Amino acid sequence: MTTQSGLTPSNLTDTSRIEAFSDGVFAIAITLLVLELHIPELEPGERLWPALLHEWPQFAAYLTSFAIIGIMWVNHHSMFRQIRRADRGLMFLNLGLLLWTALLPFPTSLFAEYLQDDSFDAHVAAAVYSTNLTLAAIAFSSIWWYVLRNHLVDHDLNRSQVRRSVLRYSVGTVLYAAAIGLSFISAPLTLLVQFLLAVYYGFEQLRTRS
Amino acid sequence: MTTQSGLTPSNLTDTSRIEAFSDGVFAIAITLLVLELHIPELEPGERLWPALLHEWPQFAAYLTSFAIIGIMWVNHHSMFRQIRRADRGLMFLNLGLLLWTALLPFPTSLFAEYLQDDSFDAHVAAAVYSTNLTLAAIAFSSIWWYVLRNHLVDHDLNRSQVRRSVLRYSVGTVLYAAAIGLSFISAPLTLLVQFLLAVYYGFEQLRTRS
Amino acid sequence: MTTQSGLTPSNLTDTSRIEAFSDGVFAIAITLLVLELHIPELEPGERLWPALLHEWPQFAAYLTSFAIIGIMWVNHHSMFRQIRRADRGLMFLNLGLLLWTALLPFPTSLFAEYLQDDSFDAHVAAAVYSTNLTLAAIAFSSIWWYVLRNHLVDHDLNRSQVRRSVLRYSVGTVLYAAAIGLSFISAPLTLLVQFLLAVYYGFEQLRTRS
Amino acid sequence: MTTQSGLTPSNLTDTSRIEAFSDGVFAIAITLLVLELHIPELEPGERLWPALLHEWPQFAAYLTSFAIIGIMWVNHHSMFRQIRRADRGLMFLNLGLLLWTALLPFPTSLFAEYLQDDSFDAHVAAAVYSTNLTLAAIAFSSIWWYVLRNHLVDHDLNRSQVRRSVLRYSVGTVLYAAAIGLSFISAPLTLLVQFLLAVYYGFEQLRTRS
């Protein structure tokens, strides 16, 4: 399995340094979200408390993206507990997932700024946010498909388990893609649905495991 | 104890990756605080040194939040040394604690900007800061309550130890809640009390252990 | 090999803490790139979608730098799997590599801002970006040269393997230096070539290992 | 040695999580320095290249602070290789060192902005920068003094080794304090001396070990 041509003793490694690097990116991205929160600039006569309340979209977007990155980390954790070997293909697919994770603070900030805009721009911002999450879901699916196909999992799963796991990732991707469509109906509703999807994925995983 | 239905061999894991992720968030949040410090913009004829001194609220808020996150990290460390197993419930409660930790640079910056404001806004900023810390204290308590209730600790504690530990977290939560009230009396005093609370928690833990 | 004079039991250590520190810097630099992305400020009557499209240089520069830092991390990972011992010289050469990695968000932002500038400034920005990457390539080469020369690798490589590995790093450095020249012909072409170089280095390494 | 009263089995732990947390703060602080670099805003008719050259103070300050934090990390690494046990006192002293490390991007930015100022403000900025580094040197000394006094080192050092190690830290602290004085003579010279001190400490350690 491991050919030793070239400099490297093996093209397969354990996953510990991938996990450490990924944990780093997840931890930094989730913490950088706070930099997108801005202190309100008060106009003369304006009070701080109503000005903060008026900024609820940025707090709602912050909370939603925090929940999403947090649950992505939990799920990344769960997935990699089942992966025992890594090759460069897995490293690159994982970099793809990290790309969409590290990028998330940008559409979060965009979404927050345009959430209450009464023009078509609110729909565009919601769609950009949902597209980012759809691409992250596709990246998750592609990692799982790759590790199954290249026998990098810890133990061979039976066909029913493989089918269920692939189905779960596919459904997730479809739900996120549907949220792109929803963006053109209502931006605030899209944010709420994204938050509920994150919570659901947290609990749904809990349920299938117990 | 570990049912093996579904993809995952077990719904219980060791806590090492939770601790690594938490350490990452604590380390990033404590280091990001510096980004809230701004170089004074001098008006014509103004000198740098008095302008820096005039900005003492942002340095005081920086120091206080640094001490708070630092001591939260120490206490998180102490708590997780006693936790040997993690499940998804613990992961989500821990994410709750990380939410309030990662958010802290925002109320820190808000508090620093309004500390010397002579309107009611100073009290609002102090109350937002204290509320953030109260929510962090509640998150700490809920983690401890959860690990006790689900027998995730290393060894069974006797009833007296459980009572003392729960009491300690409850008192902390009450003290932080009291600081919300204090915010409406004096904003600078609230900052001082928050700093002293952090120092006290550092030493208090030292004392009960020796 | 290890003299024990002075306080330190040995001037050679294992590489785990260097790798952890380097992983941290790579993870932070790759995630900080998002802070260089700015939400477009719309002029009256302007729409969000075309304004975002108009900002394609910053997304292209983001993607290119993300790919470059990601592949640098993969290659750093591969290189250090072959290094078993570290001394302070290796630590300082590694700090040199981290310097050019941590600095990359600055020329990325500069390149994005001037990519479509129709003056000579676009060439300057492209050359600054390419120079940064050339210096990173030189840093990579110097680490490899140092570990070969000081027998810090895991096992002695035969002369053909050493020649091939040194050749590979030299070719990379020459390619990056050539991109500095290309910067003065076309800035957008330089960005494209940098992206293709990153992809090529990803696949090229894959090929030589299989 | 380890009393087991209270909840905690022991008030002594291994140093691995302190080192991981410290590595995180060092890695983040060294990488955040790049956020203090600003793209020059060109005035009409101004060219990018001379504008970048004109900004040399911010690049010089960046390079100096990068070297300082990098060498602090190397020395922290060396020191903790000799420390085998940690208690809460060590954790708090280490937090003190991390405070001055995490704060460094602020005086770096301040120093860069005022380096070429021809008023007294340049001296103030240089003195603030040097004071920060002096406080970091004191924090380093206090950690070493504490671990010697509380027998937390790996093995008992002989008196000559203790004397030499304490002397080395004391000399470092005095040199940094002297740089505060130098700040009031020449700000650019202070920056140069700080860079040379960092390089010297790198090589000096190398020499005493070989």
What average pLDDT does chain C have? 87
Cα C144 to Cα D51: distance, rounded to the nearest angstrom: 36
Contact assessment for residue A31 and residue A16, using Cβ atoms and an 8 Å cutoff: no
Identify the band that residue A163 occupies on the pLDDT scale cut at 50, 70 and 90.
confident
Residue contact D109–B28, C-beta within 8 A: no
Mind listing the pLDDT tens digit for each residue in B13-49? 778 888 889 999 999 999 999 999 999 999 888 999 9
Best to test chain C binding among A36, A88, A184 (most C CBs inside 10 Å): A88
Residue contact D202–C88, C-beta within 8 A: yes
Contact list in D for residue B28 (CB cut-off 8 A) is 24, 28
Residue contact D23–C17, C-beta within 8 A: yes
Interface of C with A (CB under 8 A): 19-20, 23-24, 26-28, 30-35, 37, 39, 42, 47-49, 52, 62-63, 66-67, 70, 73-74, 77-78, 81-82, 154, 157, 161, 164-165, 202, 205-206, 208-210
pTM of model > 0.80 = yes
- Output B37 or C168, whichever has higher pLDDT: B37
Cα C78 to Cα A9: distance, rounded to the nearest angstrom: 10
Amino acid identity, residue C69?
A: I
Mind listing the pLDDT tens digit for each residue in D36-84? 999 999 988 899 999 999 999 999 999 999 999 999 998 898 888 888 8
Is A191 inside a domain boundary? yes
Instruction: Quote the pLDDT of residue A204.
Output: 61
Q: What would the mean pLDDT of B111-135 be, rounded to a whole number?
A: 95
What average pLDDT does chain D have? 87
Identify the band that residue D23 occupies on the pLDDT scale cut at 50, 70 and 90.
very high
Q: What would the mean pLDDT of B93-121 be, rounded to a whole number?
A: 95
Minimum Cα–Cα distance from C63: chain A residue: A99
Is C7 inside a domain boundary? no
Measuring CA to CA, which residue among B97, B49, B54 is closest to residue B75? B97
Cα C10 to Cα B201: distance, rounded to the nearest angstrom: 39
Residue contact A34–B35, C-beta within 8 A: no
Residue contact C28–D31, C-beta within 8 A: yes
Is A76 inside a domain boundary? yes
Best to test chain D binding among B23, B48, B80 (most D CBs inside 10 Å): B48
Instruction: Quote the pLDDT of residue D14.
Output: 75
Asked whether residue A12 carries a pLDDT value surpassing 70, the answer given is no
Percent of chain D with pLDDT over 70: 89
Asked whether residue A175 carries a pLDDT value surpassing 80, the answer given is yes
Is D145 inside a domain boundary? yes
Contact assessment for residue D67 and residue D104, using Cβ atoms and an 8 Å cutoff: no
Measuring CA to CA, which residue among D157, D152, D6 is closest to residue D88? D152
Count how many domains chain D has.
1
CB pairs under 8 A between A and B: 103
Identify the band that residue D204 occupies on the pLDDT scale cut at 50, 70 and 90.
low
| Gap from A102 CA to chain C (nearest CA, Å) | 5
Asked whether residue D95 carries a pLDDT value surpassing 50, the answer given is yes
Q: What would the mean pLDDT of B117-134 be, rounded to a whole number?
A: 96
Contact list in B for residue A17 (CB cut-off 8 A) is none
Cα A143 to Cα B6: distance, rounded to the nearest angstrom: 19
Is B6 inside a domain boundary? no
Q: Which of C38-47, C103-112, D9-18 has the lowest mean pLDDT?
A: D9-18
Asked whether residue C5 carries a pLDDT value surpassing 60, the answer given is no
Minimum Cα–Cα distance from D73: chain C residue: C21
Mind listing the pLDDT tens digit for each residue in D141-179? 999 999 988 878 877 677 787 888 888 888 889 999 999
Is A5 inside a domain boundary? no
Look up residue A201 and give its two tokens: 């994925």
Look up residue D22 and give its two tokens: 């410290």
Cα C97 to Cα C69: distance, rounded to the nearest angstrom: 11
Instruction: Quote the pLDDT of residue B169.
Output: 84
Q: Which domain holds residue C106?
A: 13-201
Is B118 inside a domain boundary? yes
Range picked from A12-26, A143-157, B42-56, D195-209 for highest mean pLDDT:
B42-56
Q: Which of A19-23, A96-100, B184-188, C33-37 has the lowest mean pLDDT?
A: A19-23
Residue contact C128–D34, C-beta within 8 A: no
Helix (H) or strand (E) holding B22, with range, is helix B16-32
Contact assessment for residue C100 and residue C65, using Cβ atoms and an 8 Å cutoff: no
Is A207 inside a domain boundary? no
Name the phi and psi angles at B150, rounded to 5. -105, 15
Percent of chain A with pLDDT over 90: 62
Percent of chain A with pLDDT over 70: 89
Q: What would the mean pLDDT of A177-195 be, rounded to a whole number?
A: 96
Instruction: Quote the pLDDT of residue C205.
Output: 57
Cα A194 to Cα A200: distance, rounded to the nearest angstrom: 10
| Gap from D9 CA to chain C (nearest CA, Å) | 28
Q: What would the mean pLDDT of D15-44 be, rounded to a whole number?
A: 92
